[in-house]
Amino acid sequence: MITLIQNATKYSDRIAVKSKGVSYTYQQLLYISKNIAIELLNGKSNLNEERVAFLVPSGFDYVAIQWAIWRAGGIAVPLCDKHPLSSIKYIIDDTKSSIIISSSEFESLLSPLRELTDVRFLASEKFSNKDGALPDISSSQRAMILYTSGTTGNPKGVVTTHDNIEAQITSLTSSWQWSKNDYILNVLPLHHVHGIVNVLSCALWSGACCQFLPKFDADEIFNIFCKNEVNVFMAVPTIYYKLIARWNELVVEDQKKITEALKKFRLMVSGSAALPVSVMKNWKQISGHDLLERYGMTEIGMAISNPYEGERKPGYIGQALSGVSVRLTDENDNQIEMGSSGEIQIKGENVFKEYWDNSEATQDAFTLDGWFKTGDVAVFENGSYRILGRNSVDIIKSGGYKISALEIEEILRSYTHIKDCAVVGIADEEWGEIIGASLILSSNEFIIDDLKSWLKDKLPSYKLPRKYIFQEDLPRNVMGKVTKNELKKIFFDN
Strand 467-470 and strand 432-441: the pairing is: parallel
Has residue 95 been placed in a domain?
A: yes
Quick: pLDDT tens for 335-388: 998 888 999 999 999 999 999 999 999 999 999 999 999 999 999 998 999 988
Quick: pLDDT tens for 274-327: 788 888 999 999 999 999 999 999 999 999 999 999 999 888 999 999 999 999
Has residue 474 been placed in a domain?
A: yes
Share of the chain above pLDDT 70, in %: 98
Has residue 410 been placed in a domain?
A: yes
Chain-wide mean pLDDT for the chain? 93
Quick: pLDDT tens for 194-218: 999 999 999 999 999 999 998 899 9
Residues 6+ apart with CB under 8 A from 61: 19, 103, 124
CA distance 425 to 403: 9
Mutual angle of helices 277-287 and 405-413, in 10-degree steps: 50
Predicted pLDDT of residue 152:
46
Alpha helices in 127-198 (DSSP H): 162-175, 193
Q: Is the pLDDT confidence value at 125 over 90? A: no
Has residue 272 been placed in a domain?
A: no
Predicted pLDDT of residue 194:
93
Cα-based angle 317, 323, 328 (whole degrees, multiple of 5): 50
- Residue where a domain terminates, one of 73, 103, 137: 137
Residues 443 and 410 sit within 8 Å (Cβ to Cβ) = no
Largest distance between two CA atoms of the chain: 74
* Total number of domains in the chain: 2
**Confidence band of 86 (pLDDT split at 50, 70, 90):** confident
Higher pLDDT, 334 or 87: 334
Has residue 291 been placed in a domain?
A: no
- Residue where a domain terminates, one of 106, 137, 168: 137
Has residue 28 been placed in a domain?
A: yes
Can you tell me the mean pLDDT for 221-241?
A: 95
Predicted pLDDT of residue 141:
97
CA distance 305 to 385: 9
Quick: pLDDT tens for 150-187: 444 578 999 999 999 999 999 999 999 999 999 999 99
241: nearest Cα among 195, 278, 186: 278
Q: Is the pLDDT confidence value at 1 over 80? A: no
Q: Is the pLDDT confidence value at 390 over 80? A: no
Instruction: Write the DSSP symbol of residue 9.
Output: G
Has residue 214 been placed in a domain?
A: no
Predicted pLDDT of residue 102:
96
Has residue 196 been placed in a domain?
A: no
Predicted pLDDT of residue 151:
44
406: nearest Cα among 417, 415, 395: 395
DSSP 201-251: IHHHHHT-EEEE-SS--HHHHHHHHTTT---EEEE-HHHHHHHHHHHHHS-
User: How many angstroms separate the first and last alpha carbons of the chain?
Assistant: 57
For residue 85, the domain's CATH number is: 3.40.50.980
Residue 489, domain extent: 395-493
For residue 418, the domain's CATH number is: 3.30.300.30
- Residue where a domain terminates, one of 87, 118, 137: 137
